[in-house]
Amino acid sequence: MKSRVQPPSILAKCRELATVHDLREAGLYPYFMPIEASHDTWVVIDGARKIMVGSNNYMGLTHDPRVLEAAREALNKFGSGNTGSRFLNGNLDLHEQLEAELAEFTGMEAALVFSTGYQTNLGTLGALIGRADTVYIDKLDHASLQDGVRLGLGRTRRFNHNDFATLRRMLEAETPSRGKLIAVDGVYSMEGDIADLPTLVELRREYDAAILVDDAHAVGVLGETGAGTAEHWGLTDEVDLILGTFSKSFASIGGFVAGRADVIDYLQHNARALMFSASMPPASAATVLKALEIIRDEPERREQLWKNTHRMMEGFKSIGFDIGPTETPIVPILIGPMEKTFVFWRALFEAGVFTNPVVPPAVPEGSCRLRTSYMATHSDDDLDFVLEQVERVGKKLGVV
């Protein structure tokens, strides 16, 4: 047998995945599950049907015939991809149409579409934060915001989740001449709570700070028309930048930033994640355009989402589960210990319910949970089945 060359030291860490190896050996590894087929609210894994309550498909549009037809038409017209960046050969009229409609939808002057939501945050923050600037981020902000500020050249100040007293002290201590940006999630993806924009707007006015809201889990869900967190609070004019993804309510992939026209123009010519990435595929852009049309024209879809959400919140609480501070279709089931969380996940999975186990570093130590989330298209039978199985497993494991 040929002897293996000793790997360079930089690769040694790749063998140090004890927790992953242990979970695999115990049959409790929950990640990278290969889905064989998808049918709106349920999926097929290993030939077995699972009710999907781990998706961010809030509007339930991934299988809407109108959305699928729009994607097919774009494929036939433009092909499968653009093979270049928007800066050069990959800019489509679909992209620009989508930007115009997103700007109108969010109440902003202009918008800019990126290939992914993650790249949107990397490109926006990396381009805007200069050496003379400071950005303030909530410690529970999404990883893409956390990584985006690393690309900027300025200072970063982190405050505990919703600790606005500390944020105020940080702003008070900052050099007045420095540019200041407060960056928060509109809806926190592991907690399900909504950003307190009224308090942040007070700080914005007092300390001449800009506000950036990552509305990945809010666009389509919050607000009278689904325009997101700023519309929910009636504070659209007080928010400087709204960012969003298309991989949730819009049933596709990609992302956008909306704001003042001059800011969007600046990002268009300085955001490296836009300028040096292939552009959003035609079918994806067409999917988002059709999804946006449906979200605008069918408010009853959002109303059904909220009915389903409240049904599950009340159901879990009546059983005795702790669902934390959630206010949205993200409904976590707090469990605590990591091992029990994985055992709970596995039991539900085998019973036909797909959830997401969330453990550190995504959440603090001792606060492991199953993250569930709901769609407008979940039926009462779907939701009753989930409640029955969660109650059965929870009692068996002594969680309730």
CB 355 within 8 A of CB 345: yes
Q: Tens of pLDDT along 328-357?
A: 999 999 999 999 999 999 999 999 999 999
Q: How far apart are CA 77 and CA 36, in angstroms?
A: 28
Transcribe 189-226 into DSSP letters.
TTT-PBP-HHHHHHHHHHHT-EEEEE-TTTTTTSSSSS
Spatial CB neighbours of 107, under 8 Å, sequence gap ≥ 6:
227, 230, 231, 236, 237
Provide long-range contacts, Cβ within 8 A and 24+ apart, for 90-95. Answer: 90/278, 90/279, 91/279, 92/279, 92/282, 92/285, 94/282, 94/285, 94/286, 94/289, 95/279, 95/280, 95/285
Catalytic residue among 248, 249, 279, 373: 248
Tell me the residue type at 187.
V
Residue 256, pLDDT > 80, answer: yes
Active site residue 95: no
**CATH number belonging to the domain at 65-297, selected among 1.10.238.10, 3.80.30.20, 3.40.640.10, 3.30.2130.30:** 3.40.640.10
Burial of 307 from C-beta contacts in 10 A (0-12 / 13-18 / 19+)? middle
Active site residue 248: yes
- Apex 25 CA angle, 19 and 29, nearest 5: 60
Q: What is the DSSP letter of 153?
A: S
Q: Tens of pLDDT along 209-244?
A: 999 999 999 999 999 999 999 999 999 999 999 999
Active site residue 2: no
What architecture is the 9-62+299-396 domain classified under in CATH? Alpha-Beta Complex (3.90)
Residues of each domain in the chain carrying CATH 3.40.640.10:
65-297
pLDDT band of residue 13 (cuts 50, 70, 90) is confident
Catalytic residue among 55, 115, 189, 277: 189
Q: Tens of pLDDT along 264-289?
A: 999 999 999 999 999 999 999 999 99
Conformational region of residue 386, where left means phi above 0, alpha means psi within -120 to 50, and beta covers everything else: alpha
Measured in whole angstroms, the distance separating CA 237 from the mean position of its chain's CA atoms is 23
Residue 2, pLDDT > 80, answer: no
Provide the 3-class DSSP secondary structure of residue 127: helix
Catalytic residue among 142, 180, 217, 290: 217
Pairing mode of beta strands 110-114, 179-185: unpaired
Residues of each domain in the chain carrying CATH 3.90.1150.10:
9-62+299-396
Query: Which neighbouring-strand residues pair with 29?
Result: none
